[in-house]
Amino acid sequence: MSARIIKINGPVVVADNAESLKMNEMVKVGKNKLVGEVIGLDHGKATIQVYEETSGLKIYEEVEGTGRLLSVILGPGMIGNIYDGIQRPLSELEKVGGAFIPRGVEAFPLPKDAKWQVTFLKDVGDEVNEGEIYAEVQERGIVHKLMVPIGVSGKIAKKSDKEEFTIDDTLYVLEDGTKLGMYQIWPVRIPRPSIKKLPSKIPLITGQRVLDTFFPISKGGTAAIPGGFGTGKTILQHQLAKWADADIIVYIGCGERGNEMTEVLTEFPELMDPKTGKPLMDRTILIANTSNMPVSAREASIYTGITIAEYFRDMGYSVAIMADSTSRWAEALRELSGRLEEIPAEEGYPAYLSSRIAEFYERAGRVETLSGEEGSVTVIGAVSPPGGDFSEPVTTHTKRYVKCFWALDKSLAYSRHYPAINWNTSYSGYVEDLKDWYSENVNEKWYEYRGRAMELLAEDGKLQEIIKIMGEDVLPDMQKLVVGIARVIKVGLLQQNAYSEVDSFCPLDKQFEMLKIVVDFYDRARKFVEMNAALSEILKGSIISKLMRMKEDYKTAEDLKELEKEIEEHFKELEKVYKE
């Protein structure tokens, strides 16, 4: 007797006579064949979370097992595609139901009618092992490497002689009859294996000064972007997707508002990749799961995204995941936990919230792949704490598992300081790891100058508390100098215009040159303050204005040499006056 529904509680369904089902198996629920996953088994009863709207579902309707775990299909055709939370292509779903996704619709994630030119890398008689690359396909400027599925190995007995292939074609047949085709299937909740994890020694260059210079992230690293409504999380993630030196971008819109996701879906196809001049979608995969879609699919979307990222990592690519936002994912966990009548922990979240967040971020990393390549998955998750409260559970647990914490500040955002990353509460655990790389590739004094600038900002933070109470006039000149230079760092360096042709991306050599100019200016200005020079003369309006505008007025690090000459002249004039 087949399994039948005996209880329906929103997206959670209980089925009896479920002895044939197994844990985490994908199932088809009811006459509409709604997609679901078994999340609990107890004495012949199966608890199933359904990834589609369950309205209209009835008691005693059948539940049909598929025999496989919740999985994604990995192969050519994913790049540039837009999926829902369980990897159904929205373009195909639109053909069936228009603007609204119909229930129970199946759509193959990869284009069936596309023809692919394949470059064979193996021949009859060759031995192949799991994870080994056996063929290549050109896909939107990316070399898509076809790999032997995990658990498969053997000698090639037959090779196809076709010139063009569709996604269903077989390329090779092994001696044991195993077919190697154009795609493979992988369960989303199981991390893809690799030989070993590699140390975090290479930065993910973003072109954003506040990140690259002050709070850098490594390739294979983890970062959280917490911030309340309107602080610029989505714009910052757009900037990272556009400028980060990752080969592939996976953008997961997890439970975000429909209008925000619409903005992403309409903007991304139109954005140009600054590196290649081609559309940004040529190296991007979007997963769209808005807040009005079923919560179960929202919970699955995170795993769908990271499994796709691991697949491209195994080809030897650097992949960056933008998860926007993990708070909505945690809220989906909370709702499902309530439906399952589990004992709630902090603020109603399930007791296993911490371990689920850890599972997600721990799938990041720079690794040596099974094929001997070097690939990485960098995870950048936005967190949306209610009211901007960073002490709430999702933010606090996330802080335990990420090494970069880019805290967005509402007051900075409202004063139009973007990116609105608070330099006092943000941190990066990769600074020491990346120190040698920056010394070799940027400048040997990068670490020293960064430390000096951070000290100035920290001292300015303390002085601002005094200024709020007593005003700036009570400060001695040396402290006024600190406040003045800190203002230059905040406005001239940390503030960056995402819509400026010159300033949207800042190369590392220019970032260092700007930092060096400001810190050296402070060191020289100190000497004149000690000589009792007038602070208004030292911080002359014209020279400070140029420091504030150097990010826009000087396009390259070489151009900044002109500003250094002007600063040199400025201090020579002061020296003449105060030596006399």
For 103-136, write each residue's pLDDT tens digit. Answer: 878 889 999 999 999 999 999 999 999 999 999 9
Residue 270 pLDDT grade (very low, low, confident, very high; cuts 50, 70, 90): confident
Query: Does residue 468 have a pLDDT over 70?
Result: yes
Q: Is the pLDDT of residue 99 over 70?
A: no
Give me the amino acid identity at 310. Answer: E
Average pLDDT over residues 88-92: 87
- Of 9, 14, 5, nearest to 32 by C-alpha is 5
Residue range(s) of every CATH 3.40.50.300 domain in the chain: 196-408
pLDDT at 9: 92
The CATH code belonging to domain 116-182 is: 2.40.50.100
**86 vs 108, 298, 464, 501, CA distance in Å?**
11, 9, 49, 37
Work out the average pLDDT over 61-88. 93
Q: What is residue 186's three-state secondary structure? A: strand
Model pLDDT, residue 297 = 82
Mean pLDDT over 250-272 rounds to 76
Ranges 107-121, 131-145, 182-196, 289-303: which has the least confidence: 289-303
Mean pLDDT of the chain: 91
Could you give the C-alpha distances from 266 to 85, 91, 519, in angstroms and in order? 18, 13, 42
Which sign, positive or negative, has the C-alpha torsion 211, 273, 383, 492? positive
Label the pairing between strands 45-50 and 154-159. unpaired
pTM for this predicted structure:
0.93
CATH class of the domain defined by 196-408: alpha beta
Residue 461, number of CB atoms within 10 A of its CB: 13
Contacts (Cβ under 8 Å, ≥6 apart) of 309: 248, 250, 319, 321, 377
What are the residue ranges of CATH 2.40.30.20 in the chain? Answer: 3-70
pLDDT (0 to 100) of residue 298: 84
| For the chain, percent of residues with pLDDT exceeding 90 | 74
Q: What is the pLDDT of residue 580?
A: 59
Residues near 30 by beta carbon (within 8 Å), at least 6 away in sequence: 5, 57, 58, 61, 62, 63
pLDDT reading at 275 higher than 80: no
pLDDT of residue 233: 87
Domain(s) labelled CATH 1.10.1140.10 in the chain stretch across 446-579
d(CA 336, CA 366): 33
**87: number of Cβ within 10 Å:** 26
Q: What is the pLDDT of residues 359-407, one digit of tens each?
A: 999 999 999 999 999 999 999 999 999 888 899 999 999 999 999 999 9
What is the rounded CA–CA span in Å between residue 29 and residue 47?
A: 12
Tokens of 495: 């503030």
Closest CA to 552 of 137, 156, 209: 209
Q: Are strands 34-42 and 25-29 parallel, antiparallel or unpaired?
A: antiparallel
Buried b / exposed e along 204-230 (16+ C-beta atoms within 10 A): bbbbbbbbbbbbbbbbbbbbbbbbbee
Distance CA 337, CA 295 (A): 11
Class of domain 3-70: mainly beta
Q: What is the C-alpha to C-alpha distance for residues 395 and 187, in angstroms, rounded to an integer? A: 28
Closest CA to 64 of 107, 102, 103, 25: 25
Tokens of 500: 């400026």
pLDDT tens-digit series, residues 541-556 = 899 999 999 999 999 9
Q: Which tokens sit at 484?
A: 């003045």
CATH topology of domain 446-579: 1.10.1140
Tokens 């959280």 locate to 224
Strand partners, 318: 376
User: Is the C-alpha dihedral spanning 74, 75, 79, 84 positive or negative?
Assistant: negative
Q: From residue 236, give the alpha-carbon distance in Å to each of 232, 307, 522.
A: 6, 23, 30
pLDDT, mean of residues 75-103: 84
**Mean pLDDT along residues 496-522:** 94
- The secondary structure of 440-509 as a DSSP string is HHT-TTHHHHHHHHHHHHHHHHHHHHHHHHH-GGGS-HHHHHHHHHHHHIIIIII---TT-TTTSS--HH
d(CA 183, CA 167): 7
* Pairwise CA distance, residues 86 & 268, whole Å: 21
Which pLDDT score is estimated for 47? 95
Q: What does the pLDDT read at residue 578?
A: 74
Q: Which of 95-109, 134-148, 487-501 has the lowest mean pLDDT?
A: 95-109
Over residues 199-246, the pLDDT tens digits come to: 989 999 999 999 999 999 999 999 999 998 888 888 898 889 889 999
